[in-house]
Every structure is written in structure tokens, then in C-alpha cells.
């Protein structure tokens, strides 16, 4: 149980492709402890997710969880999910314009387009395979974390740099309009 230091944008490790984890490796104490540390670090930072490269480990592992989150009060809940070697496939062309932030990009948010309906395949921490559909903002969260495993940050996907904003200015100028729009979306899509 350790809260690890989160690497920030500019650190070259965030720009590497992380490698797959073998089933034998997944069962080792060192990888299981890394998963525990990711969960602790994500929760301590109030993140909706965190990926192993964000703590400097170039393995294809991420954790996702949304409870009552002060960073993202409009986000639907997501039970704790540990994804190992995830593969994401969009199911159609529908996208949503989402205001995102990232624990590795302190105090900055911006708008990115995310697929609304995705198929995600992964192994859980016991090595059990999953093949499920994720929709709406939850699909966006999965895409954000999987991007980290390929060295991609949300900044790379910001389609209009004029949407970039600090948290303080987001609250001041953008929050109400975004929450109104995205709440309508969440009601329509359901997750
Ligand atoms: Ni992130």
C-alpha cells in the first residue's frame, strides 16, 4: 500500500509505449504490488484512472474507478476495474466532445473527442479475460487510460487549443456550460 509519485508531462517515460504483461508476470508479487500502488495512488489523487507509466512502470496496466469524485462530479460511477493488456475497438463513429484533465498534466484541462461506444478486451489482475462494451463517459475514461499505454496524453488529442484552461478558469468560465451539455449526454447515453 503505497502512494507513488506521479510523473508529469515532459517526463520521457510518459511518451514510451508500455509493454504487454505475461500471465506468469501478472501473478508475481511485484506486479500485484504495482496494481495495489496504482489503486492507492489513483484514490489519493482523486483520479478517475491511472496507468502504470504514470508512476514510471512501462507495463500495460491501468486502474479505473469513479466514486463520488470532486474532480468529476458529473461522471457516472465506475466500479474499481484493473485492466491488463487492454485492447479498445470503437463500435461505430459516434464521438463526444469531452473536457478532460490528467494527473500527469497538472492544472490543465482541454476538450477531446472520444468514441462513445467501444469494445474493450482485457485481463483482470487474476488473469481472467474480459470482453465488454463500455459507453459514454465511461468509454472515454477507458480510452484516456489506454492512450497512456501508448505514450499518448490527452493534450495530443485536444482539437482546439482555445479550449485549454486551468482548473480555476474552468470553474470560472467553462464549468456551467460543460456540465449542462455533458449531463444531457449522460442522461441520453446512460453511462
Ligand atoms: Ni491521464
> How confident is the model over 4-52, as pLDDT tens digits?
999 999 999 999 999 999 999 999 999 999 999 999 999 999 999 999 9
Query: Is residue 29 in a domain?
Result: yes
Catalytic hit among 5, 20, 145, 168 = 145
Domain that holds residue 126: 12-189
CATH number, residue 125:
3.90.45.10
Query: C-alpha angle with apex 124: 121 to 125, nearest 5 degrees?
Result: 155
Run of H or E including 64: strand 61-66
Q: What global pTM score does this model have? A: 0.95
Whole-number Å distance between alpha carbons of 24 and 18: 17
pLDDT of residue 5: 98
Cell output for 84: 491488463
Whether the CA torsion 6, 124, 118, 80 is positive or negative: it is: negative
Strands in 49-51's sheet, in edge-to-edge order, are: 49-51, 61-66, 78-90, 117-123, 129-135
Q: 191: pLDDT confidence band, cut at 50, 70 and 90?
A: low
Q: How many domains does the chain have?
A: 1
Query: Is residue 2 in a domain?
Result: no
Query: Is residue 26 in a domain?
Result: yes
Query: Is residue 49 in a domain?
Result: yes
DSSP code per residue over 66-113: ESS-TT-TTSPPEEEEEEEEEEEEESSS-EEEEEEEETTEEEEEEEEE
Q: How far is the CA of 15 from the centre of ligand 1 (A)?
A: 12
Query: Is residue 7 in a domain?
Result: no
Q: How far is the CA of 190 from the centre of ligand 1 (A)?
A: 23
Query: Is residue 60 in a domain?
Result: yes
Q: How far is the CA of 176 from the centre of ligand 1 (A)?
A: 23
> Is-catalytic flag, 145?
yes
Query: Is residue 5 in a domain?
Result: no
Q: Mention every residue, 6+ apart, whose C-beta is less than 8 A from residue 85.
A: 20, 21, 60, 122, 123
Q: 190: pLDDT confidence band, cut at 50, 70 and 90?
A: confident
pLDDT of residue 114: 98
Residues around the ion ligand 1 (C-beta < 5 A): 102
Query: Is residue 6 in a domain?
Result: no
Q: How far is the CA of 117 from the centre of ligand 1 (A)?
A: 20
Average the pLDDT over 174-179 and give the result: 92
Half-sphere exposure of 116 (CA within 13 A, CB side): 14
Amino acid at each position: 500500500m503505497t502512494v507513488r509519485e506521479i510523473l508529469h508531462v515532459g517526463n520521457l517515460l510518459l511518451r514510451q509505449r508500455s509493454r504487454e504483461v505475461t500471465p506468469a508476470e501478472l501473478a508475481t508479487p511485484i506486479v500485484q504490488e504495482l496494481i495495489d500502488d496504482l489503486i492507492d495512488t489513483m484514490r489519493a489523487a482523486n483520479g478517475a484512472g491511472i496507468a502504470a507509466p504514470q508512476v514510471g512502470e512501462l507495463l500495460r496496466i491501468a486502474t479505473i474507478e469513479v466514486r463520488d469524485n470532486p474532480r468529476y462530479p458529473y461522471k457516472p460511477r465506475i466500479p474499481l476495474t484493473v485492466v491488463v493488456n487492454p485492447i479498445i475497438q470503437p463500435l461505430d463513429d459516434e464521438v463526444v466532445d469531452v473536457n478532460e484533465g490528467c494527473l500527469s498534466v497538472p492544472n490543465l484541462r482541454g476538450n477531446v473527442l472520444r468514441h462513445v461506444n467501444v469494445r474493450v478486451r482485457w485481463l483482470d489482475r487474476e488473469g481472467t479475460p474480459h470482453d465488454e462494451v463500455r459507453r459514454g463517459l465511461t468509454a472515454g475514461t477507458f480510452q484516456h487510460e489506454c492512450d497512456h499505454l501508448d505514450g499518448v496524453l490527452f493534450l495530443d488529442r485536444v482539437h482546439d487549443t482555445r479550449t485549454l484552461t486551468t482548473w480555476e478558469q474552468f470553474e470560472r468560465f467553462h464549468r456551467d456550460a460543460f456540465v449542462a451539455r455533458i449531463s444531457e449526454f449522460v442522461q441520453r447515453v446512460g453511462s
